Amino acid sequence: MNDDQLLRYSRHILLDEIGIEGQTRILEGHALVIGAGGLGSPVALYLGTAGVGRITLVDHDTVDVTNLQRQIAHNLARVGHPKAESARETIAAINPDVQVRPVVQRADAAFLAEAVAAADVVLDCSDNFQTRHAVNAACVAAGKPLVSGAAIGFDGQISVYDTRRAEAPCYHCVFPAEATFEEVRCATMGVFAPLVGIIGTMQAAEALKLLAGIGSSLAGRLQMLDARTMEWTEIRMPRQKHCTVCGHRD
């Protein structure tokens, strides 16, 4: 770590739990972020400002004026530009030392198999169950921790799915692909702007803790926020023995 880095990250280094060793692990880390929208914006910015060495940012979509109500990585001048590239520009303006690789495509199974294996931590900031299950399957196969968030309306949720721990569930254990869930989108239901900031920031915090090797993660716990009342609810989640994705790993 050079003198410029010691100064830039001094407020992390001053924390006994992180220190130089923890910050060095962050600098050497590689985070894969799926989605550069409402959740992906604060995730990418906080990972970038914290000094995560490499960030692969995946999003097939372009910036729309309706995104600007909550997607803080983008601005009016970038309407029509790919979100992944827009977020890279924002991170570079704050911390040019971070290597951000924008990937303008959908996160399909073939891409995820390679990208997840190359990452140290994966953050799912997508907005649909199909992508979430594909990301989860790739993380289970590669043995990589998954930090998953979701936000719609005034309701948010976050957890860490880390099947390196024998008792911890995967995303499929909690939200089986074969189950029927009503999938709603921001375009039809709306989303409270600060909600994605709250959940996305927590995702970044969980990822940084995993990279630095500090604290305890949300593995096995699902936290749900009702932003109308700012009340949190937490439930404990065990691994499901008969889960078709991770159950065979018990």
pLDDT per residue as tens digits for the range 192-250: 999 999 999 999 999 999 999 999 999 999 999 999 999 999 999 999 999 999 986 54
Cα distances (Å, whole numbers) of residue 174 to 153, 240, 246: 21, 8, 11
Contacts of 27 (CB under 8 A, 6+ apart): 1, 5, 9, 51, 52, 53
Q: Which tokens hold the place of 110?
A: 């073939």
- How many folded domains does the chain comprise? 1
Asked whether residue 156 is domain-assigned, the answer is no
In a domain, 1, yes or no: no
**Residue range 65-76, pLDDT digits in tens:** 999 999 999 999
Q: Which residues are catalytic?
A: 186
Residue 181 belongs to some domain of the structure: no
Host domain of residue 137? 11-150+193-220
Tens of pLDDT, residue by residue over 201-217, are: 999 999 999 999 999 99
Q: Would 89 be classed as within a structural domain?
A: yes
pTM: 0.94
In tens, the pLDDT along 74-125 reads: 999 999 999 999 999 999 999 999 999 999 999 999 999 999 999 999 999 9
Helix 19-27 with 193-212: angle, nearest 10 deg: 110
How sure is the predictor about 179, in pLDDT bands with cuts at 50, 70 and 90? Answer: confident
pLDDT at residue number 55? 98
Q: Tell me what pLDDT residue 178 has.
A: 80
Is 250 contained in some domain? no
Note whether residue 111 is domain-resident: yes
Tell me the average pLDDT of the chain.
Answer: 94
In 31-178, which residue ranges form alpha helices assigned H by DSSP? 40-50, 83-94, 109-118, 129-142, 171-174
In a domain, 225, yes or no: no
Residue 38 sits in a domain whose CATH number is 3.40.50.720
Q: What is the pLDDT of residue 189?
A: 79
Residue 130 inside a domain? The answer is yes
Q: pLDDT value at position 250?
A: 43
Reported confidence tier of residue 149, pLDDT bands at 50, 70, 90: very high
